[in-house]
Amino acid sequence: MKKKETFEASFGRLQEILTKMENPDTSLDDSLALYAEGAKLVKSCMQQLEEARVKFTAITGELESGEEA
């Protein structure tokens, strides 16, 4: 099974993809492949952000109710 990339690594790769796609020398075929890769990375980043939000909410709720983590 492939190890899940960190949010930071995925976001960094998204920035690289954007830079390549903005380059006028990037071919249409390469742009399409980059777009497909980027779409997968965006989905992964969104899932990781949602997981972090859920954890943050749980921690905040525990702090507000006086429970220990």
pLDDT 10s digits, 18-30: 999 999 999 999 9
The answer to whether residues 56 and 50 touch, using CB atoms and an 8 Å cutoff, is no
Q: Predicted confidence band at 4 (pLDDT cuts at 50, 70, 90)?
A: confident
* 3-state secondary structure labels for all residues of 24-55: CCCCHHHHHHHHHHHHHHHHHHHHHHHHHHHH
The answer to whether residues 45 and 62 touch, using CB atoms and an 8 Å cutoff, is no
For the full predicted model, state whether its pTM sits above 0.85.
no
Q: Predicted confidence band at 33 (pLDDT cuts at 50, 70, 90)?
A: very high
The yes-or-no verdict on residue 1 having pLDDT over 60 is: no
Euclidean distance between CA atoms 31 and 14, whole angstroms: 13
Most confident listed range (2-6, 35-39, 59-63): 35-39
